[in-house]
Amino acid sequence: MGNGTEHALNIGFVSTRFKGLDGVSLEAAKWAEVLENEFGYNNFWFAGELDKDEKVSMLVEEAYFGDPETKVRQQEFFGRRTRSRELTNWIQKRKEFLKDKLYRFIEKFKIDLLIPQNTLAIPMHIPLGLALTELIAETGIPTIAHHHDFFWERPRFLINSVQDLIQQAFPPDLPTIKHVVINSMAQKELAARRGIASNVIYNVIDFDEQRAYFDDFNCDFRKDFGFSDKDILILQPTRVVSRKGIEQALYLVKRLNMPEVKFIISHSPGDEGYEYFEWIKDTAEKDNIPLYFIYNKLHENRHYENDGSKIYSLWDVYPHVDFITYPSLYEGFGNAFLEAIYFRKPLIVNRYSVYIVDIEPKGFRTVTIDGFLNKEAVEETREILLNPHLRTEMVEKNYQLGKQFFSYTYLKKELQTLLSSFYGTLSSERNPNARDYELYHMEGSDYY
């Protein structure tokens, strides 16, 4: 706990999950990397699913939105207008349980500053959001709440029986919370709907890192999956959920009518059911589209299995593909867009609203569509695939723009501004004074 003496800040990241390839987990890892490498701070993790070292993390399975009991209860919150008294009691009991765990997390790792990742934005786990809100209110702990998407952006949350709780905690308006959103549209909506000011920090990627795209581990990717060097690989690097608009990518592959083209989807079905996943598979089969799912051979960290087979990371896949499809109907920002730019891959983009407002004005060159695939987009894609000079020209320009606007250098500057609001001017200081606050002693709690 901060005691007013000079020391490197201990940062506590909190979410329902820090594991796998979802955007929240990936972006949290980038923030942690910058806070550690550029500021010299220590990162600790609290979640219901974790792939972090237990020496710097606290796993509380009840904090995971996929926890069986939580999952059943969450379904009772939405699609109806009222809730039972029993359900309210369950929320309060689970909230108190999780708040105790959060207090233990803070005390164990002497946390100075919290960074909730989407936990106070989208009501995927209402008791956790309430617990975190109350803890911040009780302790006054400095908090940077990183919001990736809000409940009003997802139709499935609009009809609910927990509006009172959503207003309280998603997000909360407390004096020691600095709010961060990932696009300017969210900033305006948050101000209009809740009267809460926020900073915009775009998603980033380390454009300054010089890395070899191919190495001894990933050089066999094509061979392992049965692709030849002559195959043209088109990659959809997202989860299989309906808002990703993957059917437009299927139509593109079909209309290209190039036998050497193979279509790859990297991620598994998301957290929104399997109906869309099955529909995509059925559509590809019906239209004879060469579709390949590789999620069972991907992991956040590459490694060898016990039998000697390889489990690749997504970043092992990118170097081998020729074109990226990104036909999303909605995105909070667009990690896959940045990854395509980083790996110097041309791509097609459905002009979702955030792309139009925050990305397109920067001058990126992409194939674009407006909700549906047209003939011009198909022919432009074909030309890019067949014209190496044009392809190189596009991707090099995009890379330089990405480095200018969405790099770790940009993230460091934005984080420095936020941290300065708590701890004063940081400039070259790596160990600012931590802010004093006291743990709230909850009488009757098993915390003490």
Cα-only R_g, the chain: 23
Query: What six digits make up the tokens of 351?
Result: 């002009």
Fold: same for 10-204+407-423 and 218-404: yes
> ∠132-185-364 over CA atoms, to 5°?
120
Fold classified for 10-204+407-423: Rossmann fold (3.40.50)
Amino acid (one-letter) located at 168? Q
Query: Which residues 6+ apart lie within 8 Å of 148 measured at CB?
Result: 23, 24, 27, 117, 118, 121, 122, 182, 332, 333
Domain boundaries of the chain, sorted by first residue: 10-204+407-423, 218-404
Q: Are 144 and 115 in contact (CB under 8 A)?
A: yes
DSSP 318: G
pLDDT in tens, 51-67: 999 999 999 999 999 99
Q: Is the peptide bond before 142 cis (omega within 30 degrees of 0)?
A: no
Ranges 64-73, 182-191, 271-280, 379-388: which has the least confidence? 271-280
Q: Is the peptide bond before 171 cis (omega within 30 degrees of 0)?
A: yes
Locate 43 and state its tokens: 């990162």
Query: Which of 64-73, 274-283, 411-420, 438-447 has the least mean pLDDT?
Result: 438-447
**Could you tell me which residues are beta bridge partners of residue 146?**
117, 180
| CA 381 to chain centroid | 28
Q: Can you read off the two tokens belonging to residue 216?
A: 């001894």
d(CA 160, CA 82): 8
Instruction: Say yes or no to pLDDT of 440 above 70.
Output: no
Rounded Cα distance, 65 and 127, in Å: 10
The 10 Å Cβ neighbour count of residue 185 is 17
The whole-number pLDDT of residue 428 equals 38
Distances (CA, A) of 209 to 30, 160, 206, 343, 407: 13, 45, 6, 12, 10
Residues contacting 221, CB < 8 A, separation 6+: 227, 312, 316, 317, 320
Question: DSSP assignment of 35-76, as one string?
Answer: HHHTT--EEEEEESEE-S-GGGEEE-GGGSTTSHHHHHHHHH
* pLDDT tens-digit map of 197-246: 999 999 999 998 877 789 999 999 999 999 999 999 999 999 899 999 99
- Angle between helices 388-405 and 375-386 in degrees, nearest 10: 100
pTM of the complete model: 0.86
In this prediction, residue 424 carries a pLDDT of: 82
d(CA 210, CA 174) in angstroms, rounded, equals 41
Query: Which CATH number is associated with domain 218-404?
Result: 3.40.50.2000
- Rounded mean pLDDT, 390-412: 96
